[in-house]
């Protein structure tokens, strides 16, 4: 079963990241359709998609249109009961659903003052009292969840679940604005930053679309705190050691160099997202 997934800009759309993770983190298939925030109103761009007016929106192959990330989580869990979107343990599942619901409706100060912007990291965002209160609440519910986890691992309830997908943009905000949290919460944030799926999304955000000035903040900047990407660069070349793009299987026309080796891709986006973080892409690393 495959889907069409309508998403906003990789660098800025926190809700789209949630929807994308609900598909791609659990091994499902979807064609990503970009609704650029730099163009006309999102609702106008989606006027011909049923009653959908927001991103993400999932269109199923039977014609069902599912908007809102929480609804996407529930629908995918029903259609793919073995994907692991929710924990199998009833108590852990109830906790995960509660966490997701609070994230969907709460933390308005954090979301308003610190919009997701994955291209920059601010070293001092001078968080308000309301943001600090949101952070304290996050630490409380994360700690409570981890006390109930059913297996070892960095995620809230042991194995990665829809609850973790919903908190991935929060981790990006905490990292991107250098917000103060305790050691346990910082470890949970670090797990998201190191997660290959999150790294793939951020790599796409680094190279796709323009910088949107209304997300910019006048704070001092520092380096992104996640894993340092392996060094690579785009190059002019005529041949590469691979004769097919690792993503599309098409003939390479764009090239990158890493460790003195030249690899080819079918278009600039395939090349550039790989240059941004080569080790995030299993299909490329299989060539390496």
CATH value at residue 61: 3.40.30.10
Q: Are residues 176 and 196 in the same domain?
A: yes
Residue 218 token pair: 């006048």
What is the reported pTM? 0.96
Evaluate whether residue 103 is within a structural domain: yes
| Beta pairing partners, 66 | 58
Evaluate whether residue 268 is within a structural domain: yes
For the sheet with 2-7, list strands across it. 29-34, 2-7, 57-60, 65-67
How wide is the angle at C-alpha 160 spanned by C-alphas 77 and 141, nearest 5°? 100
Q: Do residues 13 and 7 make contact, with C-beta atoms less than 8 angstroms apart? A: yes
Evaluate whether residue 85 is within a structural domain: no
**Would you state the torsion angle of the CA atoms of residues 188, 194, 199, 203, taken in this order, to the nearest 10 degrees?**
110
Evaluate whether residue 223 is within a structural domain: no
Residue 195 token pair: 């997660």
Tell me what pLDDT residue 255 has: 98
Residues of the chain with pLDDT under 50: none
Count of domains for the chain: 3
Q: Which domain holds residue 185?
A: 90-201
Distance of alpha carbon 60 from alpha carbon 30, whole angstroms: 9
Q: Are residues 190 and 120 in the same domain?
A: yes
3-state helix, strand, coil in the chain (%, to 5): 45, 10, 45
Tell me what pLDDT residue 1 has: 74
Tell me what pLDDT residue 133 has: 98
Tell me what pLDDT residue 52 has: 85
Evaluate whether residue 238 is within a structural domain: yes
Evaluate whether residue 210 is within a structural domain: no
Evaluate whether residue 207 is within a structural domain: no
Closest CA to 137 of 161, 169, 170: 170
Q: Residue holding tokens 């791609």? A: 24
Tell me what pLDDT residue 19 has: 98
What tens digit of pLDDT does each residue of 116-142 get? Answer: 999 999 999 999 999 999 999 999 999
Tell me what pLDDT residue 2 has: 85
Give the containing element (helix H, strand E) for 144. helix 129-147
DSSP string over 101-142: HHHHH--HHHHHHS---TT--BS-----HHHHHHHHHHHHHH
Give the containing element (helix H, strand E) for 284. helix 282-287
Residue where a domain terminates, one of 48, 79, 110: 79
Q: Are strands 233-235 and 57-60 parallel, antiparallel or unpaired?
A: unpaired
Tell me what pLDDT residue 11 has: 98
What tens digit of pLDDT does each residue of 17-28 get? Answer: 999 999 999 999
């Amino acid at each position: 079963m495959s889907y069409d997934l309508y998403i906003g800009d990789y660098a800025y759309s926190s809700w789209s990241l949630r929807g994308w993770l609900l598909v791609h983190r659990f091994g499902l298939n979807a064609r990503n359709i970009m609704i650029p925030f730099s163009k006309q109103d999102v609702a106008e761009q989606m006027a011909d998609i049923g009653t959908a007016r927001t991103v993400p929106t999932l269109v199923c192959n039977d014609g069902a249109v599912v908007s809102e990330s929480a609804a996407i989580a529930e629908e995918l869990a029903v259609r793919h009961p073995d994907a692991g979107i929710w924990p199998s343990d009833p108590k852990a599942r109830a906790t995960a659903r509660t966490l997701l619901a609070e994230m969907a409706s709460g933390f308005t100060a954090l979301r308003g003052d610190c919009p997701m912007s994955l291209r920059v990291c601010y070293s001092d965002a001078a968080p308000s009292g309301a943001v600090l209160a949101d952070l304290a609440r996050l630490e409380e519910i994360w700690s409570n969840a981890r006390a109930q986890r059913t297996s070892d691992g960095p995620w809230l309830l042991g194995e990665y679940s829809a609850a973790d997908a919903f908190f991935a943009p929060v981790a990006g905000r905490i990292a991107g604005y250098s917000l103060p949290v305790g050691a346990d919460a910082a470890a949970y944030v670090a797990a998201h930053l190191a997660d290959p799926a999150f790294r793939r999304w951020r790599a796409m955000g680094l190279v796709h679309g323009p910088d949107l000035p209304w997300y910019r903040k006048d704070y001092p900047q520092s380096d992104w705190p996640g894993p340092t990407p392996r060094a690579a660069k785009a190059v002019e070349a005529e041949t590469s050691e691979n004769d097919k793009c690792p993503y599309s299987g098409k003939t390479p026309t764009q090239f990158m160099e890493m460790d003195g080796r030249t690899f080819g891709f079918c278009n600039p986006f395939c090349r550039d997202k790989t240059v941004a973080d080569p080790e995030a892409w299993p299909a490329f690393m299989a060539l390496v």
